[in-house]
Structure 1
Amino acid sequence: MDKQHPQQQWQQAVTAYAQAVNDYIAQGRAQGWDNLEEPAVPATGHLLDAWLAALQAANRPDADEQQRQAFRAAWPPAHQPLLPLLDDHGQGISNVLLLDDNSLLARIGMPYEKGQVVRIDHHGVTPVIGIEYFGRCPARRYFALANAEGVRVTDGWGGPQVQRLAWPTGLEGLPAGYPFEPFDLPPTPTTLTPFPDGQRVLLVSAEGTFVLATEGATRLLPDQTRVLDELAEGTEPEDISLGLSMEHGAVSADGRWIVVGEQGSRHRVLDDQLRLVADIGPGSEYPHFALFNQAGDQLILNACHFYSGATLAARVADLPGLQTDYYSQDPRTPLVQDGARVYAGVARAGEYIVGDAYGYLRAFGEDGTEHWQHYLGSTISAMDISADGGTLVAASHAGIVSVIALDGGRPAWQIGTGAHGEVRRWLFWKGWDRAMAW
């Protein structure tokens, strides 16, 4: 093999390993996992210098699309060979959106990092100036664009401004008469979700979860009841933690329902008047993620424990008055996915697609039937799907953005069980002066 050109060695190693993994998974599912040996990882470290030189050549300013496609064919994408480089170069990508013109928005860096918002299209990668965080409403119309001055809501990407909302002070929803301190700086958004009428924004942050409106912010988490309980127990105000971990939230496409949660809460569902209507016990230790289905009549609720997790479903019609305990066997909240710690997810007709801590995209039906899995690698950090459900974009903590054509066939180098093929990959790596297309 050593006499082969490096790109031939790469092709052979990557394709053979993908085939071996796919065969291993097929055998395990068909016959059980006893006595099955995981495929050996091929040695590819000696090929990385040649891969990097070819990648750089394909990304020269004078390189055209044909040259990029030729590079991709010669050096098929894979995650395993890149592992020696990720400690130095990998970084989380905290948000991605597919715009209607097929371009992408991405925030490079996790919410707590300085980061940068960029737009990605067939011409390349362009920084978006003046925006530090962004989000889109579940009906895909309104965008929230944030910087230190506040949050703007626009009607469409690049469209007219319909709202300008102030950051919370940090004192909202706290008992009066106690010496709580306001925020020194605006909270750092984990997610920003405009309501489908464009008038309010759900702000999820490690400093608290709020609904922003023209009349001011309303705190949802941590809620006042918890703070009052701690005060009643004799805890001094300065010793009460108002921060959140594993904070998350979702708004339904009709704006009628808001789901919020964090490590220390149950899954909490509020109506559009911000009244608590459901308090749902998680299926694992710590509430971690929430998502409505495309039809808007069901939601899934993920909770995690270490790198694993469990996902419950609930019909929207069952939400009013729904109260369940941790690990409840209530038939109204069936387990629909077991094993994934979900960091990001999307929904299309009859299907959820979630990204887990092990680098897999996992798709399953609304009844919990497993549909397919697709391996990207590293922890999946952000996802979006096109309005027609045909294009998926997934980002990871390896600093990779992957654009995937769903239902278009699986290339030989792809690890997965579905007929889906990546069409473009972008590397946003620390220490590089620009992104590279693969």
Structure 2
Amino acid sequence: MNKQHPQQQWREAVIAHAEAVNQYVAQGRAHGWDDLAQPPAPATGHLLEAWQAALLAINRPGVDEPQRQLFREAWPPAHQPLVPLLDAQAQWVGPLLLLEDGSLLARVGLPQDKGQVLRIDAHSVTPVIGISHFGRCPQRRYYALANAEGVRVTDGWGGPLVARLAWPHGLEGLPPGYPFEPLDLPPAPITLTPFPCGQRVLLVSDDGIFVLAASGATRLLPRQQAILDDLLRGVDPDDIALGLAMAHAALAPDGRLIALGEQYGRHLVLDDQLQPVAAIGPASECPHFALFNRRGDQLLLNACHRYQGASLGVRVADLPGLDTEPGSDHPRTPLLHQGARIHSGVARHGEYIVGDAHGYLRAFGEDGGEHWQHYLGSTISALDISADGRTLVAASHAGFISLIALDSGRPQWQIGTGAHAEVRRWVCWKGFDAPLAW
């Protein structure tokens, strides 16, 4: 029988597992993976009750920051030991924003669920009343704040109102004269992104991708011509699927280009007048994610097959008139990154940081060169980065939010190849009254 205190057992097991995984990765990268056995998960199941009791205790009122730091040292954060609890307690977190004062804005719950928007800082978790979804423009100035009545755009978080926009009714962009029905409820936003002008918002939802404006909503996907083609082929209107799978879109930093797509078809690029610029065949099976680099002169386009993926890197200058088929080996659509099915991403100077389906943050250059990887666990559902590029915040399907100080050194319990230190983690689980700081 192990007579060590539970926290000592936990600390030793977590650190030993991290060191074993890091060594495994280093050997695989240096010499190949053929004869390597992946390290087994740590035997920590008997410690979960003690861990949860300690987590609840450290989140009681009156606990100061030095005590929290001692708790993190005694019970270092890890994903693998908590896997037995995830089926019952984990929940989706996203989107996620770092505000200018260092606090976080997070939505807990799937996009289609009621969910809850929270503002989180080092000392408190506060529900944000009257907002069901939110988003921010690429220039970090304008915020979109949504509820059942519509979408408000403010100049800054908590700033003055600059636009009030209605939800789509669902008949926008559909061929007239056919018996399509309007939406029963407003679309549930996957993302809401104001344009840099503050007068329009890009809405991505399973019910379609739209641009919201004072004059009304414009449907971008599914496209009217594709729907009309189906109708002219004799497809019954009731059999035409207007919903989207893997819907995604990204705005260029200056708002002049929109990259968008869904599971079926190609990557599309539109200009700010919503006119076609390019149609690009995916590098894998299903278009899944798009992201512009920090300068706005390169576009990352990810497509997936199951839990793997591949990303093209296209220069914005090469986009006009570009028209390629899936799997095309076109010189203007080079393969930039292989392996990751990307669910979220941010860009800093010369670097993309993306979150994949296997729980890793992966960073690579605009030339495709690998920079580092950092393990959080479970699918990475949301990312944001500070304006200075020094602080990253990541969320996962497991219900974790991780605040990471980039380029600050790697603690011995961290799985990864980068010199980055998590400074705080929140556990946003079912059964807890509020997220708990770890």
TM-score, reference length from structure 2 = 0.99
Which amino acid is 1:152 matched to? R
Structure 1 residue 184: deviation in Å?
1.1
Match of 1:332 in 2: 332
CA distance in 2, matches of 1:147, 1:111: 12
Match of 2:136 in 1: 136
Match of 1:178 in 2: 178
Match of 2:95 in 1: 95
Pair 1:395-2:413 in alignment: no
CA distance in 1, matches of 2:197, 2:66: 43
Matches for 1:214-225 after TM superposition, within 5 Å: 214-225=214-225
Which amino acid is 1:320 matched to? P
Match of 2:436 in 1: 436
Match of 1:23 in 2: 23
Which amino acid is 1:406 matched to? L
Which amino acid is 1:299 matched to? L
Q: Deviations over 1:371-393 (max 9, x none)?
A: 00000001100000000000000
Runs of 5+ unmatched residues, structure 2? none
Structure 1 residue 54: deviation in Å?
1.1
Match of 1:263 in 2: 263
Structure 1 residue 239: deviation in Å?
1.5
CA distance in 1, matches of 2:234, 2:181: 18
Structure 1 residue 416: deviation in Å?
0.1
Pair 1:376-2:366 in alignment: no
Q: Deviations over 1:79-121 (max 9, x none)?
A: 0000111011001112100000000000001101110000001
CA distance in 2, matches of 1:92, 1:424: 18
Q: Secondary structure at the match of 2:180?
A: coil
Q: Deviations over 1:37-62 (max 9, x none)?
A: 11122200011111111111110012
Pair 1:114-2:114 in alignment: yes
Q: Secondary structure at the match of 2:84?
A: helix
Pair 1:197-2:197 in alignment: yes
CA distance in 1, matches of 2:300, 2:105: 25
Pair 1:316-2:329 in alignment: no
Stretch moving more, 25-34 or 407-416:
25-34
CA distance in 2, matches of 1:248, 1:47: 40
Q: Secondary structure at the match of 1:185?
A: coil
Q: Secondary structure at the match of 1:384?
A: strand
Q: Deviations over 1:380-418 (max 9, x none)?
A: 000000000000000000000000000000000000000
Which amino acid is 2:390 matched to? G
CA distance in 2, matches of 1:311, 1:228: 31
Match of 1:410 in 2: 410
Match of 2:292 in 1: 292
Structure 1 residue 16: deviation in Å?
0.6
CA distance in 1, matches of 2:285, 2:113: 27
Match of 1:228 in 2: 228
Match of 1:211 in 2: 211
Q: Secondary structure at the match of 1:36?
A: coil
Structure 1 residue 252: deviation in Å?
0.7
CA distance in 2, matches of 1:137, 1:97: 11
CA distance in 2, matches of 1:170, 1:410: 49
CA distance in 1, matches of 2:139, 2:312: 23
Structure 1 residue 434: deviation in Å?
1.8
Structure 1 residue 127: deviation in Å?
0.2
Which amino acid is 2:309 matched to? G
Q: Deviations over 1:255-300 (max 9, x none)?
A: 1100110001210000010001100000001000000000110010
Q: Secondary structure at the match of 2:278?
A: strand
Q: Secondary structure at the match of 1:238?
A: helix
CA distance in 2, matches of 1:41, 1:122: 31
Which amino acid is 1:33 matched to? W
Which amino acid is 1:154 matched to? T
Match of 1:246 in 2: 246
Matches for 1:38-77 after TM superposition, within 5 Å: 38-77=38-77
Structure 1 residue 123: deviation in Å?
2.1
CA distance in 1, matches of 2:357, 2:258: 25
Which amino acid is 2:250 matched to? A
- Segments of 4+ in structure 1 off by > 6 A? none
Structure 1 residue 66: deviation in Å?
1.4
TM-score, reference length from structure 1 = 0.99
Structure 1 residue 198: deviation in Å?
0.3
Q: Secondary structure at the match of 2:354?
A: strand
The aligned length equals 438
